[in-house]
Structure formats: C-alpha cells, structure tokens
C-alpha cells in the first residue's frame, strides 16, 4: 500500500516531531492531559499492572499481584485513564484502562482535559513514544542501573501533534485495521514456529524413548512413561550417569560492564546460550573465586532449575562464569555422552522428568536431590552417538527456516511500528483510506 503526504507542512519547534501538517496544531501534554494522584486507601480493588502487552488485572490469589505492605499508597484508576510506567522508558509501556482498580504509586496515571479527544489516537501516539524510544531522550537515570525515567516536568512539557478530532478518529481507525492485519501475519509466523518446535520435539522424543530400530525387542521400563523401552537399554537415575553436579547458587555475583561473561538463566534458550539476551560480566577476581566449585568444560550440560525451569544448553566457550539457578553437569563418559545427555533434556521425556519433580506455587523449581533422582533412558554408548547423529540430520533444515521466520516477524513488527509513527505524526495522509464515524468509547464524553 502506498501513501500520500499532506499538501503542506509547518515546523513545530520540537526536535523529535519536526514538521506536521499545516492545519494540525502542536500542544504540550499538560494542556491536553492532567496527572491524577488519587490514593485508594481502602482494600478491595483489582490490582492493575502495565506490561508491553497492555494493562492487565493481576491475579492476587496466585501472588501474581501481591501488594506491598503499605496498600494505602496505591493509586485509583478509572476507565479511560491512561496508566504509564514512566520509571522504565526502555521496557515500560502505557495503556488506557478499561477497568476500575488500583495501581502502583510508581506509575503515572493521567486523564484527558479536553471534552473531545480520541483516546485511541493518543494511545497510539504515547505508545509510539516507547516503541521509537522517543521518550528515552527526555528521561533521567543513573548510568548502568538499567532504569531510565521520565520526570513530571519533562512529561508535562512534551509536545504532541494534535490533528482535528475527525482526523484523530480516522487515523486511529486506519491503524486499528492495518495493525490488526500485521498482527495476524505475525501470529501466523509464530504458529509456524511453534509447529517447527513441536516437530523437532517429536523427532527427539521418538529417538530417545524408542530408539531407531523399530524391530528391537522391548521390555517394561518400570516407570510411568514410556511403559516399555528397548530391552538392551537401561533406565537409570541421573546421578548414575553424571559424574559431577555443580550448583552455583549462593552470593549474587557483582555484575560489571566488561570482564568475564556471566551466563544467566535468562540467556539459556532453545538449546543455546545467547549472551546477547542479557549481556553481563563479572571481574577476573570474582571469576576465580566463584568458579572454584567447578570450571566448565566444552560439552558440559547446563540446566536451569527455576525461572525458567528446564532450559538446557552445552558449554561451547569454556571461559564463562555461571550465575544462579543453573546447574552444570559433567557426564560420566563411561555411561553417557555429553551430546546424548543434552539431547535427553531436550526431549519430552527429559522435560517431564523435571516438571513432575518440580515444586513452587508461583515459579516452579526443582531441588538438587530431585534432579539427581530423575530418570534417564540410557542406550549403549555407540547407539547414543548414532541417535544423536540421526537427530542432527533430521532437524538440520529447521534452523534456517526458523531464522527466516524470525526475520519475517521482525520485519513485520518494524513495519507496524513505522506505520504507526508515520500516521500519528502526519508524515502520511490516511484520511481517504477509512470510512469512520466518531465512536463514543473512543472519545472523552462531554
């Protein structure tokens, strides 16, 4: 779809915004919106939280929405109020409430002053401030802390483009329609990714529970599932096939900007260590002290014990430090190969063994003794290598497809963000692309 521009533009004086259509106005936030600090005081309200998926009601019964001891400082939120996490301009967000509830005193709650503003248009505009990192330039914070907040004065003085009400409604309707199309395409790609992951899981699980010879004699496994295994395999507790478990729990490591890479639980994803997901480091001195429990060697298997549980990877670079919630396993090479142990934990059987022994109401985790007792299906060593090689061959075409899907998802998301930015700032004229009337829920009632 190609877009036209408006006939004429004028300067706004705001660096982030630049030119806007000549008939639009520009206004500071404080002239359009009012920050409200209404304290709840009493109990009995839904607890609301702003996420990058929007404003949600937290489940306090499962501790998802557990409040601080001082509930009296929580703010009231009414339908059509904006709720903004202004304390974190990197990973925070903003949304319009559909609920009566309360939210953290650290959030910013504000409402429209005008009698006729399209809340939907301004929601797109405020969310664009996060998506394009526009608000970040107006923030303050301590270097290296990871928090970057938008002070009240900067927020109030932030300049917004203001189209006519009819254009606000038209732009919001256009974006609702076009972003829904893009979101549907993203969901299709994500479903394809899930199907590929399920296919990989099925290939791995079949091989590590049944082997590659369909005619091999079987016998009762002695465990719940699978009921039978090849007769020449063993069913052993993990402690029998691992020569050393190294648990790195204890003192929280001091993270610095440069040094020895620290592998954290959040970096272990889909069978790999992805340091770029959470790049942190520790000093040489702390590395030498922390790793005396056991230095990693190439091929050693890592398993996350909670938050998240069951992610696994193998050591590729030996010069790394390991964080909390990770156990390193050195295989007993007389019984199991490192690659087969890693494959075991990537199978449905290996994952089931972890999760059925896990505990915890809000974040499932597994104790070291329960991990050691988990069952492993152990073929002879030579057969383990054959199985691993067969799996590798069967799934070798998956990574390029997954990379292509992920690239497509990223391009679609970039297009979505760019389309929103162009529409709400007047860089494109979408007035003739929608037919709309002013819907009552989208406009502040008179």
pLDDT tens per residue across span 209-250: 999 999 999 999 999 999 999 999 999 999 999 999 999 877
Strand partners, 140: 149
Whole-number pLDDT of residue 250: 74
pLDDT in tens, 13-28: 999 999 999 999 999 9
Share of the chain above pLDDT 90, in %: 78
In a domain? residue 40: yes
Separation of first and last alpha carbons in the chain: 37
Using pLDDT thresholds of 50, 70 and 90, give the confidence band for residue 45: confident
Mean pLDDT, residues 61-87 taken together: 75
pLDDT of 64 > 60? The answer is no
Q: Is residue 79 part of a domain?
A: yes
Q: Does residue 106 register a pLDDT over 80?
A: yes
Question: What is the spatial distance between Cα 184 and Cα 176, in angstroms, rounded to a whole number?
Answer: 12
State yes or no: pLDDT of 444 exceeds 60: no
Q: Does the N-terminal peptide bond of residue 308 adopt cis geometry, omega within 30 degrees of 0? A: yes
Choose the final residue of a domain: 359, 376, 399.
Answer: 399
Mean pLDDT over residues 408-419, rounded?
A: 97
Residues 275 and 206 in one domain: yes
Residue 197 and residue 59 share a domain: no
Residues 262 and 120 in one domain: no
Question: Residue 312 corresponds to which tokens in the numbers above?
Answer: 């696994």
Share of the chain above pLDDT 70, in %: 92
Q: Is residue 229 part of a domain?
A: yes
- What CATH number is given to the structural domain containing 128? 3.90.220.20
Give the domain range for residue 280. Answer: 191-399
Q: How confident is the model at residue 293 (pLDDT cuts 50, 70, 90)?
A: confident
E strands within 87-137?
94-96, 101-103, 108-112
* Alpha-carbon distance values, 303 to 261, 264, 355, 374 (Å): 18, 11, 13, 13
User: Do 315 and 373 fall into the same domain?
Assistant: yes
pLDDT class for 443, splitting at 50, 70, 90?
low
Where among 399, 415, 431 does a domain terminate?
A: 399
- Is residue 150 a part of any domain in this protein? yes
Tell whether 206 is covered by a domain: yes
Q: Are residues 91 and 218 in the same domain?
A: no
pLDDT of residue 68: 47
- Is residue 435 in a domain? no
Which band of pLDDT confidence, cut at 50, 70 and 90, is reported for residue 445?
A: very low
Residues 143 and 211 reside in one and the same domain: no
On the question of pLDDT at 343 being above 90, the answer is: yes
Instruction: Please tell me the distance from the alpha carbon of residue 320 to that of residue 30, in angstroms, as a whole number.
Output: 50
pLDDT tens-place string over residues 134-173: 999 998 875 444 468 999 999 999 999 999 999 999 999 9
302 and 390 both lie in a single domain? yes
Helix (H, G, I), strand (E, B) or coil at 25: strand
Same domain for 279 and 199, yes or no, is: yes
The count of domains in the chain is 2
Contacts of 20 (CB under 8 A, 6+ apart): 9, 10, 12, 26, 161, 425, 426
Structure tokens at 342: 């890693």
Q: Which of 50-59, 264-273, 333-342 is predicted least confidently?
A: 50-59
Q: Confidence band (pLDDT; 50, 70, 90) for 46?
A: confident
What is the pLDDT, as a whole number, of residue 442? 55
The closest alpha carbon to 307, from 254, 360, 357, belongs to: 360
- What distance in Å separates the CA atoms of residue 308 and residue 325, rounded to the nearest whole number? 9
Q: What predicted TM-score, i.e. pTM, was given to this entire model?
A: 0.82
pLDDT of residue 115: 76
| Mean pLDDT, rounded, for 303-315 | 94
* pLDDT at site 441: 46
Query: Is 276 in the same domain as 146?
Result: no
Q: How far apart are CA 87 and CA 362, in angstroms?
A: 25
Interval 437-443 mean pLDDT? 47
> Using 50, 70 and 90 to split pLDDT, how confident is the model at 120?
very high
- Alpha-carbon span 262 to 282, nearest angstrom: 6
Same domain, 203 and 295: yes
Is residue 12 domain-resident? no
Q: Which of 160, 179, 207 is the last residue of a domain?
A: 160
Torsion angle of C-alpha atoms 320, 323, 327, 329, degrees rounded to 10: 10
The verdict on 143 and 215 lying in the same domain is no
CA 36 from centroid of its chain's CA atoms: 30
Are 201 and 345 within one domain? yes
Q: Is residue 182 part of a domain?
A: no
- Sheet architecture: strand order including 321-322: 281-282, 260-263, 321-322
Q: What is the mean pLDDT of the chain?
A: 91
**Distance from CA of residue 366 to its chain's centroid?**
22
Q: What are 311-341's pLDDT values in tens digits?
A: 999 999 999 999 999 999 999 999 999 999 9
CB 338 within 8 A of CB 299: yes
> What is the rounded distance in angstroms from the CA atom of residue 229 to the CA atom of residue 248?
34
């Amino acid at each position: 779809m190609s877009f036209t521009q408006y006939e004429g533009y004028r300067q706004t004086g705001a660096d982030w915004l630049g030119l806007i259509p000549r008939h639009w106005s520009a206004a500071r936030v404080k002239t359009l919106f009012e920050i409200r600090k209404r304290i709840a005081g009493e109990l009995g309200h839904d607890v609301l939280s702003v996420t990058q998926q929007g404003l949600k009601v937290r489940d306090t019964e499962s501790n998802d929405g557990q409040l601080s001891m001082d509930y009296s400082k929580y703010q009231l939120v009414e339908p059509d109020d904006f709720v903004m996490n202004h304390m974190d301009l990197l990973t925070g967000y903003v949304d319009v409430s559909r609920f009566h509830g309360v939210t953290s005193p650290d959030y910013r709650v504000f409402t429209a002053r005008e009698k006729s503003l399209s809340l939907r248009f301004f929601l797109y505009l405020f969310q664009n401030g996060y998506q394009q990192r526009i608000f970040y330039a107006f923030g303050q914070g301590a270097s290296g802390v990871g928090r970057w907040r938008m002070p009240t004065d900067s927020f109030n003085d932030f300049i917004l483009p203001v189209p006519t009400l009819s254009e606000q409604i038209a732009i919001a309707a256009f974006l609702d329609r076009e972003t829904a199309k893009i979101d549907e395409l993203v969901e299709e790609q994500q479903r394809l990714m899930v199907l590929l992951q399920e296919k990989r899981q099925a290939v791995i699980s079949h091989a590590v529970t049944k082997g590659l010879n369909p005619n091999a004699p079987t016998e009762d496994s002695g465990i719940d599932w699978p009921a039978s295994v090849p007769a020449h395999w063993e069913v052993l507790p993990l402690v029998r096939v691992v020569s050393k478990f190294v648990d790195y729990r204890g003192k929280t490591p001091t993270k610095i900007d440069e040094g020895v890479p620290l592998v954290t639980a959040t970096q272990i994803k889909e069978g790999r260590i992805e340091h770029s997901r959470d790049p942190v480091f520790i000093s040489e001195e702390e590395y030498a002290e922390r790793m005396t429990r056991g230095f990693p060697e190439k091929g050693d298997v890592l398993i996350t014990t909670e938050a998240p549980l069951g992610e696994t990877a193998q050591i590729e670079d030996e010069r790394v430090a390991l964080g909390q919630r990770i156990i390193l396993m050195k295989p007993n090479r007389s019984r199991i190969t490192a690659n087969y142990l890693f494959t075991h934990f990537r199978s449905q059987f290996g994952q089931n063994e972890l999760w059925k022994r896990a505990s915890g109401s809000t974040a499932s985790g597994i104790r070291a003794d329960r991990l050691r007792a988990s069952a492993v299906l152990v073929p002879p060593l030579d057969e383990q290598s054959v199985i691993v090689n067969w799996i590798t061959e069967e799934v070798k075409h998956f990574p390029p497809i997954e990379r292509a899907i992920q690239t497509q998802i990223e391009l679609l998301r970039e297009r979505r963000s760019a389309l929103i930015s162009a529409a709400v700032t007047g860089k494109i004229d979408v007035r003739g692309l929608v037919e709309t009337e002013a819907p009552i829920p989208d406009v502040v009632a008179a």
